[in-house]
Amino acid sequence: NGTSEEVKKIVSLLNEADVPSEDVVEVVVSPPYVFLLLVKSLLRSDFQVAAQNCWVKKGGAFTGEISAEMLVNLSIPWVILGHSERRALLNESNEFTGDKVAYALSQGLKVIACVGETLEQRESGLTVAVVAAQTKAIADKVANWANVVLAYEPVWAIGTGKVASPAQAQEVHFELRKWLRQNAGDEVADTTRIIYGGSVNGANCKELAGQHDVDGFLVGGASLKVEFVDIIKSSTVKVSS
């Protein structure tokens, strides 16, 4: 988002923030490609950096794409894959996303893999079926989930100001964990972090963070504001309860 000057302001806000230690909360920021190295060079050492996407296979003649190998070469540890905008606007299928996740993992990247339903799908009662199919496409290609974070982002709640209620978020996170338990085993279900993304802000983060199966957040617009620090601090809700 924004210009290099705006990015520097956000980084300095984060660098000065008083937030819980790394053993309580892992903070990863994901600027656009052109700002990755700038952010990495300025950002505090206990926060990490993620790319917003990468290509599905080894580098080659794929003009405009960035390979997983390039991210590794620049020591970028994380990448976000399968974001709803990639799926909706660029028509990236479940299978394509699964392939991307598997390839990124094979190159040593950690992956934030996104799943989520549209408003039409939710109103048709298809929420669980949709997120299960999206998760299955990843599970079909991935045996080791140690470096995967699953992000549930209801498409109808992204940038719309609509937020899934804490109960709605918990319900889908519960179903995702149950799916993992039945299809990938107890250890994967118990250890895989399932984070929520969809109009998370300073006002609703604590209640969402208190839900049993919500392990963190994928934050959009609010990550550009001071309230991002409040969202990071909401990680202590479960620790203190």
- Select from 148, 166, 149 the least CA-distant residue to 204: 166
Sequence letter at residue 78: W
First CA to last CA distance, the chain: 35
Sequence letter at residue 136: K
Sequence letter at residue 122: R
Sequence letter at residue 15: N
> Among the options 83, 92, 117, 175, which is catalytic?
83
> Among the options 92, 117, 153, 175, which is catalytic?
153
How far is residue 143 from each of residues 24, 146, 147, 161, 163, measured CA to CA in Å? 27, 9, 11, 36, 32
- For residue 50, give both structure tokens: 């993620």
Told to judge if 83 belongs to the known catalytic residues of this protein, a careful annotator would answer yes
Residue 137 near residue 183, CB atoms below 8 Å: no
Told to judge if 212 belongs to the known catalytic residues of this protein, a careful annotator would answer no
Catalytic positions, please?
83, 153
